[in-house]
Amino acid sequence: MNKPHITYEELLELTFYGIFEMNFKGISVNDNRLKKCKPIETAIHKGIYTGSPGKDIYYMLPYLNKDQMNEIINGLENKFPKIPPGNHVNVGAFIRFIYGQFEKKGILRSEQDFERMKNEELDWSLAKKFVDLLYNKLEDNNNYYGLAILCEMKAHRAGDKAVLQKDKEKLYNMEHLYEKAVKYAGKCKSYKHLFTPYYWAFRYFEKFEDNKNGIKYAFLTIKQADKYCPDARPGYIIKLLDCVKYIKKYDKSKYKNLIKQYKNSKNKCVKKVFKKY
């Protein structure tokens, strides 16, 4: 086994900074704690990056015992956001990095990524062990925002494996996790997570070629967005347009009813999407 890139003590120090906050556009770290941070030369990007310390945890997982994992998790949990932030990019990136997934969207990112991941040995056992321990800690402390985002990220990885392995059981596990993400989002008023988990469920069912469930979750995405979508940012509009196009392609009668139902929506994002139809 190769030597770890940093020491356990250095990783522990990184966790005490917490997960860096993001500026609204999500393009850089923007946190007053940066002035107090001591760069760790051998850490990834010296430990200062969006989603820190997720990448460093990923590379250190093979060297950590359960007690060390729990000590790191205690440090993370103390500073894990409880109130939904204006931007979720850093928190989502942190969890994704622990799985060694340094690009967004997994198999859904592109056909090239899908083909690449087919040939990879996706051993997420250590990441799962760590994330499950973190989940239990957040659950003990009623951190509903943390639970919502962990369920969503766990669902993404379950979706990746379900499609790659053509495994229906993993697909329904994914579905259950997305449903749990929405449930916890309701408890902490994380409005984004009251509809985006349904969007990702739709995309994975689409990739699995399960059109019945794909249509079900495309509809649910629009229905929930109509109630809870907080603004009309481009990312939300693109997601809803994906849903509308999919329903139009596979169920024209439902598509016509959809247009009638949401043409005069009062939600800014939904209204903007259906103005195009």
SS (H, E, C) 141-157: CCCHHHHHHHHHHHHHH
Burial class (CB in 10 A: 0-12, 13-18, 19+), 271: middle
The predicted structure's pLDDT at residue 26: 43
The predicted structure's pLDDT at residue 4: 95
- Are 165 and 121 spatial neighbours (Cβ–Cβ below 8 Å)? no
- Are 73 and 67 spatial neighbours (Cβ–Cβ below 8 Å)? no
Q: E strands within 166-262?
A: none
The whole-model pTM stands at 0.92
Domain ranges of the chain: 1-186, 195-277
pLDDT tens track of the chain, all 277 residues?
A: 589 999 999 999 888 777 765 554 444 455 566 666 778 899 998 888 888 899 999 999 999 999 999 999 998 988 888 999 877 888 999 999 999 999 888 899 888 888 889 888 889 999 999 999 999 999 999 999 999 999 999 999 999 999 999 999 999 999 999 999 999 999 999 999 999 999 999 999 999 999 999 999 999 999 999 999 999 999 999 999 999 999 999 999 999 999 999 999 999 999 999 987 8
